[in-house]
Structure 1
Amino acid sequence: MANAPLAVRPVTTKTDTRDFIELAYRLNRGDPNWVPPLRSEVAGTINPKKNGWFSHAVARLFLAEREGRVVGRISAHIDKLALEMPAEQGFGPGTGFWGLFEAEDAGTARALINAAEDWLRSKGMTRAVGPISLSIWEEPGLLIKGHDHAPTVMMGHHRPEYRGWIEAAGYEPAKQLVTYELDITQEFPPIVQRIVAMGEKSDRIRIRTVDKSRFEQEAATILGILNDAWSDNWGFVPLTQPEIDDVGKKLKPIVFEDLIRIAELDGEPVAFMITLPDLNEAIAPLNGNLFPFGWAKLLWWLRKPQVRTMRVPLMGVVKRLQSSRMASQLAFMMIEYIRRAAVSEYGASRGEIGWILDDNQGMVAIADAIESRINRVYQIYAKQL
């Protein structure tokens, strides 16, 4: 069957879309560490009416078939905001992307990547970056270390053989993203405790929880800090209001006030830290389905999650304070306050921080100071077209 003719074609019908979604469940079914995402969430990600990312991006989905059987999938996409970024920050003019990649074998992988590249060339792109699914803020990179344990909420998990197939297609590493894990039942080292204690004595510093009844205003505050704090990072593309609105709807059920902190300096919000209970622990047994009983189980879990792992997907300090002692102090204070709440209120014992750019010296230093270790590595590749 592997020698049978292979056809790659665009997704054009509802049946195609269903097949595009379902393929991942079939190909990853044998991996005990793959967490089946909710099908409704996957459908929303690729639906321009439900994903605010499409307000500044276009995408084409492809299926690979052999003898009428779907054996692979890929997306090719162009982010108009990424095109406007400086080339030295990783993207910029002429840069297109591909992602949502799944394939049964090396031949299928090559054909899919070729199809994505051809589409990008037809749109005037001169460079391809991937895998990024679909936004840099969603699931960027290919997992190359950490296949031996399940991903946390909003993190990707990929078959080990994909690395060789992508590199055989001429792709070279462009950037690595890492996550750190740590035992949060243990107090942080004495030096970190002293820094936190000093901050608590300062009249200039206030570390507050978010107010969920003011969700939109709090989201706007965090968005403002985020777009300033991350603006010089490799791969940065500003988050837009439509994206924040859609992400807010998706994440609001797992937003808990004591797990998200905003740091104020002299009354001005200057830093934030978002922590999410690992939703993957609740959805893993559902096999991607909310019905007939998954919805009730998930609602019960969401009342007051008791989890093993908490994930910190985002934190940031305004640019003017970065590389200062104040930035580190605010970060340590937020981390410590959230650590206490995670353990005492949610029964958590493990934390995961990331993703983090592997050369982000400030965040790497913080991760090292709280004695965390790298547990997952994601590789982003690039190729001239």
Structure 2
Amino acid sequence: MGALTLLPVRTRTELERFVRVPMRLGASDQNYVPPLIVERMESLSPKGNPFFAHAEVAFWLAERDGRDVGRISAQIDALNPQTAEGVGHFGMIAAEDDPEVFAALFGAAEAWLRERGRTVALGPINLSTNEEVGLLIEGRDTPPMFMMSHDAPHTAAAIEAQGYAKAKDIFAYTCSVADDLPAPILRRIRKGLPEGVTLRTLEMKRLDAEVATVTAILNDAWSGNWGFTPTTEAETKALATTLRLIIDPRLAWIAEIDGEPAGFMILLPNVNEAIADLKGKLLPFGWAKLLWRLKVKGVKTGRVPLMGVRRHFAASLKGQLLPFHLIDAVARAARARGYERYELSWVLEDNLPMRRICDAGGATVYKTYRLYQKALI
């Protein structure tokens, strides 16, 4: 084999090579879903992703014999509370099963983080804790849902060989749309909404305002969670733009208590199901196929990436029942539209309140993702 070269990503051409690395590595994996190249290019550029406005980011490619054999990112997010504790992130890790490649990639990322005063490296985080988080370690027997990773099986051992150890595990729960909530909970919520509680679907005509409401609830509900980064106004606007293309408002519910927005749950169609055979390309007919599958033909699976109840309601009886009212409303709407299964993700292993809701609602863990950390001093 020829010498290994590490290349900092600086041009658009190099960025596209960076995007394509996992596509080549996953080509023989029947459960790997190639991402849309145009979406990845936008998400990994300052012009397309508001994350870059409050973060410093670097990308590297590893190449050998004219072939790209690996990639990695390093980033420091000014809004992440762990940044004040000396934590920096690595992410986007994908490489051939070669210890030399992993050593070179992590060597570059760690040196970059050390130069910027970081004392701990944590990841994989791609790029924000509000995007893809964790390395898949269990559950490779099914394709990933939208905005969830699907990593090569050798990657976990390769990361651990670089001196990394488990920081946290993250779970993805699966739930059959055909199944009702467990009988005791169902009897409780079928009695009707408590006084002062109302549920409604998202209003597309007011989408920007609705998304602002949802993110305000999210920032409050998740504020105590380990590693949570609040969503900025620019990121809220970007989210609204994305949702406008794919959301079905009949699967997005907001709950109010005494007129105050108190909780929400959004089920998004599993875009991965619609793009699995597009090989990352939208041209010449990819857009038509995607829109047909999402808007006309429909998909059978979905993901709940966004759900929360404001903290000052969570301790009340109304607040405790709210998630189950939302789950029931979303599940019934999904069932009516031909959905068969949806994923609740991601959930931290020590987020016991959310795990109890998932367990009580009949969902089961079917994928586990791991965050790794390493001291840099």
Which bin holds the TM-score, normalised by the shorter protein? over 0.9
Structure 2 partner of 1:34: 32
Q: How far apart are 1:45 and its partner, in Å? A: 1.2
Take 1:40 and 1:260, find their aligned partners in 2: how far apart are those partners? 26
Instruction: Return closer, same or farther for 1:323/1:364 CA change in 2, 3 Å cut-off.
Output: farther
Give the match's secondary structure for 2:35. coil
Summarize deviations over 1:31-87 as a string: whole Å, max 9, x none: 1101111001110111101101111011111011113321111111110111xx2x5
Q: Is 1:149 aligned to 2:147, yes or no? A: no
Work out which of the residue numbers 281, 285, 291 in structure 2 matches 1:299. Answer: 291
- Amino acid of the residue matched to residue 321 of structure 1? F
Q: Is the 8 A contact 1:10 1:61 kept in 2?
A: yes
Summarize deviations over 1:91-145 as a string: whole Å, max 9, x none: 5331111111111122201210111000111111111111100011110100001
Work out which of the residue numbers 251, 268, 272 in structure 2 matches 1:259. Answer: 251
Q: How far apart are 1:247 and its partner, in Å? A: 2.3
Structure 2 partner of 1:165: 158
Q: Is the 8 A contact 1:328 1:366 kept in 2?
A: no
TM-score scaled to structure 1, two decimals? 0.95
Work out which of the residue numbers 303, 307, 329 in structure 2 matches 1:315. Answer: 307
- Amino acid of the residue matched to residue 286 of structure 1? L
Take 2:220 and 2:181, find their aligned partners in 1: how far apart are those partners? 29
Structure 2 partner of 1:67: 65
CA RMSD of aligned residues (A): 1.3
Q: Is 1:287 aligned to 2:285, yes or no? A: no
Give the match's secondary structure for 1:64. strand
Work out which of the residue numbers 328, 339, 360 in structure 1 matches 2:331. Answer: 339
TM-score scaled to structure 2, two decimals? 0.96
Take 2:143 and 2:14, find their aligned partners in 1: how far apart are those partners? 29
Aligned residues: 375
- Structure 1's unaligned 5+ residue stretches are none
Structure 1 partner of 2:354: 363
Q: Is the 8 A contact 1:199 1:205 kept in 2?
A: no
Take 2:54 and 2:63, find their aligned partners in 1: how far apart are those partners? 30
Q: Is the 8 A contact 1:73 1:101 kept in 2?
A: yes
Q: Is 1:383 aligned to 2:360, yes or no? A: no
Q: How far apart are 1:241 and its partner, in Å? A: 1.2
Return structure 1 stretches of 4+ with deviation > 3 angstroms.
Answer: none
Give the match's secondary structure for 1:298. helix
Equivalent residues in 2 for 1:1-385, closer than 5 Å: 1=1, 4-82=2-80, 85=81, 87=82, 92-104=84-96, 105-200=98-193, 202-304=194-296, 306-345=298-337, 347-385=338-376
Q: How far apart are 1:230 and its partner, in Å? A: 0.4
- Amino acid of the residue matched to residue 336 of structure 2? S
Summarize deviations over 1:176-206 as a string: whole Å, max 9, x none: 1101112111222111112212343x33110
- Structure 2's unaligned 5+ residue stretches are none
- Amino acid of the residue matched to residue 355 of structure 1? W
Q: How far apart are 1:305 and its partner, in Å? A: 5.0
Instruction: Return closer, same or farther for 1:299/1:68 CA change in 2, 3 Å cut-off.
Output: same
Q: Is the 8 A contact 1:199 1:329 kept in 2?
A: no
Give the match's secondary structure for 2:173. strand
Take 1:212 and 1:325, find their aligned partners in 2: how far apart are those partners? 30
Q: Is the 8 A contact 2:274 2:294 kept in 1?
A: no
Identity of aligned residues (%): 45
Take 1:283 and 1:212, find their aligned partners in 2: how far apart are those partners? 24
